[in-house]
Amino acid sequence: MSTPKIILTDKEITKIIERLAYEVLEKVENVHNIVIIGIQRRGVDIARRIKEILQEKTKISIPLGSLDINLYRDDWTRLEAAPFVNASNIPVSLEQREVILVDDVLFTGRTVRSALEALLDFGRPNKIKLLVLIDRGHRELPIHADFVGKTINTSLKETVSVLTKEQDGKDLVILEEKQC
């Protein structure tokens, strides 16, 4: 087994999240109309940080939600045990809003597909834009991110792990070989 490689440190993650927040400010049509929704679990942590930066810069209260996609996964029938379902929390109507959907790693696109399906149960947004901390490639579906923190070339034999202070006690992005 190889030694995990650190891809991003806590300081680098902080810089990237700040840059992503500024990109959102530059590219959204109406900041008053956005809702930020993080995909459980670490996407929520990143979404919260983006929201805090946007609110600090704009002085506008921006709704923050969390989305659990476990019931929408297309592999749930193959899982060894029943999926653990967390609660989704969408604090406002999504009708005619611009949703910034946030996840930690974009890989095959299947998590995002599930999230899009789940979001539509909460209303019909005007737009949905995807923000990810890491894009590692290997798409199986035609999904791309509108805002990308860092693109990493990986092999299918590798995994990318995002650690957050909220979940793991530290911020770090690690690349390592899959356990066989």
Q: Can you give the pLDDT at residue 70? A: 83
Check: CB of residue 19 under 8 Å from CB of residue 149. Answer: yes
| Pairwise CA distance, residues 33 & 4, whole Å | 41
| Single-letter amino acid code for the residue at 110 | R
| Pairwise CA distance, residues 29 & 161, whole Å | 32
Interval 22-32 mean pLDDT: 96
The set of long-range contacts for 19-22, using a CB threshold of 8 Å and a minimum separation of 24, is: 19/149, 20/50, 20/131, 20/133, 20/147, 20/149, 21/49, 21/50, 21/53, 21/54, 21/57, 22/53, 22/57
Instruction: Give yes or no for residue 80 having a pLDDT over 90.
Output: no
Q: Can you give the pLDDT at residue 85? A: 56
Instruction: Give yes or no for residue 42 having a pLDDT over 90.
Output: yes
Report percent pLDDT > 70 for the chain.
90
pTM as predicted: 0.92
180 falls in which pLDDT band (50, 70, 90)?
low
Q: Which CATH architecture has domain 10-154?
A: 3-Layer(aba) Sandwich (3.40)
Instruction: Give yes or no for residue 79 having a pLDDT over 60.
Output: no
83 falls in which pLDDT band (50, 70, 90)?
low
Q: Can you give the pLDDT at residue 56? A: 98
pLDDT in tens, 127-137: 999 999 999 99
Check: CB of residue 38 under 8 Å from CB of residue 62. Answer: no
Q: Can you give the pLDDT at residue 87? A: 82
> What are the residue ranges of helices labelled H in 65-156?
110-120
Interval 71-98 mean pLDDT: 73
Q: Can you give the pLDDT at residue 125? A: 97
The set of long-range contacts for 10-15, using a CB threshold of 8 Å and a minimum separation of 24, is: 10/165, 10/170, 10/171, 10/172, 13/133, 13/149, 13/171, 13/172, 13/173, 14/171
